[in-house]
Structure 1
Amino acid sequence: MATNFWSPVRLSIEIATVSGLFVLIIGLFFGKVMTNRKFKGKAFVETLFLLPLVLPPSVVGFLLIVIFGRNSPIGQLIEWIFEQPVMFTWWAAVIASTVVAFPLMYQSAKTGFEAIDEDIEDAARVDGANEFKLFMSISLPLGLKAIISGTILSFARALGEFGATLMFAGNIPGKTQTIPTAIYVAIDSGNMEMAWLWVMSMIGISFLMLICVHLIKS
């Protein structure tokens, strides 16, 4: 029973951690790029970034299958390089979690960067700071609270991802079975004891992370 309980927990944390790292890097990049910049089509691009927040998980999963499936150019390229398809693998779960968690990180990073006084950054540029040094010494420290909050929320969202993961990565015990999919299977098979254990673990982890976000913002 202990093994059955901990396997989805371990996988969920591993997948959420890796996807959280990807989301942090991508979210910081695009959050900084899109901050205080105006260009034609910006609203369209930002809408695409935020779309996974409102799309049904089944739609996200379907689109991932279309983009990374064996019949797609990207899927065929991945299969040629790694000699196996990406669907129904650990990495498929990471990709699904990354896609659904990205909007939270992007929005948090962008909000944090937009709150920085542009005069401070302009003064650093006048003093000779390049864009990388400016980002590391000014933008990142000043936007750190929002970035940390976004990272925590993104991790929580990745940890709780269900629909897209089930469609794209499947529900393979010890390989792609995360806590949400394990709960689904446990309820379906009538194993309410295990379902309750996983539910309580998710509630506990999510509660702690939301407390951390609240403490950071206060």
Structure 2
Amino acid sequence: MMATEYFWSPVLLSLQVASLSLVIVVIVGVMIGRTMAHRSFRGKAVVDTFFLLPLVLPPSVIGFLLIVIFGKNSLVGQWIEWLFQQPIIFTWWAAVIAATVVSFPLMYQSAKTGFESLDRDIENASRVDGANEWKVFFYVALPLSSKAILSGAILSFARALGEFGATLMFAGNIPGKTQTIPTAIYFAMDTGQMHLAWLWVGAIMLISFVMLISVNLMRKGE
């Protein structure tokens, strides 16, 4: 019984972390992607590059920056500790933040590409018919970009599920609290528990395979 719970704990925690991260990146990624797709301003290329930066930064750098931003010595970290009576580092929320940061670029890029591919005449026609910007967004832009957004959401979920480096630095590896599948695999190998490591590897490979094949099937259906 204990062995079963020990196996499922990182799996369930990873799914919970990736799911909450997905909600955040979908909302933020769609809103920012929409804004960046249809607005031009000085420095847009710099802002766009900043949003995509987590794709190329080493996970250790992301983990380091998160510790600096949310650590006890920062204003943000002190405010969070005052508000919740505990620091955010080495908590479940730290794992969510790490997963959100590394998966956001995939959602943002997919959403922006989807909105950029829309025929502006369709949106303008709805405005002529009396629709305000929110109605244009919810009833025209969002449905027409749904495949790109869903594709980005699936890839973001898979990326959040597999996050390791930043999570290990920022959230740690506390069994039952912050231990996700990738960190569990690493420490299982380190302690010679190869059977458990293989089980977790199989679990995350299966979930990731289902995610990726879903994206491929969606793209073939376009």
Q: Same fold (TM over 0.5)?
A: yes
What is the alpha-carbon distance in structure 2 between the residues aligned to residue 121 and residue 170 of structure 1? Answer: 47
Which residue type is aligned with residue 116 of structure 2?
Answer: E
Matches within 5 A, 1:41-190: 41-190=43-192
Query: What secondary structure sits across from 1:166 in the alignment?
Result: helix
What is the alpha-carbon distance in structure 2 between the residues aligned to residue 137 and residue 147 of structure 1? Answer: 15
What is the alpha-carbon distance in structure 2 between the residues aligned to residue 25 and residue 198 of structure 1? Answer: 30
What is the alpha-carbon distance in structure 1 between the residues aligned to residue 38 and residue 20 of structure 2? Answer: 29
Which residue type is aligned with residue 139 of structure 1?
Answer: A
Q: Which ranges of structure 2 fall in alignment gaps of 5 or more residues?
A: none
1:182-204 CA deviation, whole Å, 9 max, x = no partner? 00000000100000000011111
Please report the RMSD computed on the Cα atoms of aligned residues, expressed in angstroms: 0.5
Q: Which ranges of structure 1 fall in alignment gaps of 5 or more residues?
A: none
Offset at residue 38 of structure 1 (A): 1.1
Matches within 5 A, 1:12-23: 12-23=14-25
Corresponding residue of 1:9: 11
Which residue type is aligned with residue 216 of structure 2?
Answer: H
Query: What secondary structure sits across from 1:40 in the alignment?
Result: coil
What is the alpha-carbon distance in structure 2 between the residues aligned to residue 34 and residue 131 of structure 1? Answer: 15
What is the alpha-carbon distance in structure 1 between the residues aligned to residue 132 and residue 169 of structure 2? Answer: 44
1:46-79 CA deviation, whole Å, 9 max, x = no partner? 1110000000000000000000101000000111
Corresponding residue of 1:30: 32
What is the alpha-carbon distance in structure 2 between the residues aligned to residue 48 and residue 151 of structure 1? Answer: 20
Q: Which moved more, 1:185-194 or 1:119-128?
A: 119-128
Offset at residue 39 of structure 1 (A): 0.4
What is the alpha-carbon distance in structure 2 between the residues aligned to residue 125 and residue 70 of structure 1? Answer: 49
What is the alpha-carbon distance in structure 1 between the residues aligned to residue 30 and residue 142 of structure 2? Answer: 9
Normalised TM-score (structure 2): 0.97
What is the alpha-carbon distance in structure 2 between the residues aligned to residue 43 and residue 75 of structure 1? Answer: 30
State the identity as a percent: 68
What is the alpha-carbon distance in structure 1 between the residues aligned to residue 91 and residue 204 of structure 2? Answer: 23
Q: Which runs of 4+ in 1 moved over 2 A?
A: none
What is the alpha-carbon distance in structure 2 between the residues aligned to residue 25 and residue 45 of structure 1? Answer: 18
Offset at residue 36 of structure 1 (A): 2.7
Which residue type is aligned with residue 140 of structure 2?
Answer: I
Does 1:193 pair with 2:186? no
What is the alpha-carbon distance in structure 2 between the residues aligned to residue 36 and residue 92 of structure 1? Answer: 33
Normalised TM-score (structure 1): 0.99
The number of aligned residues is: 218
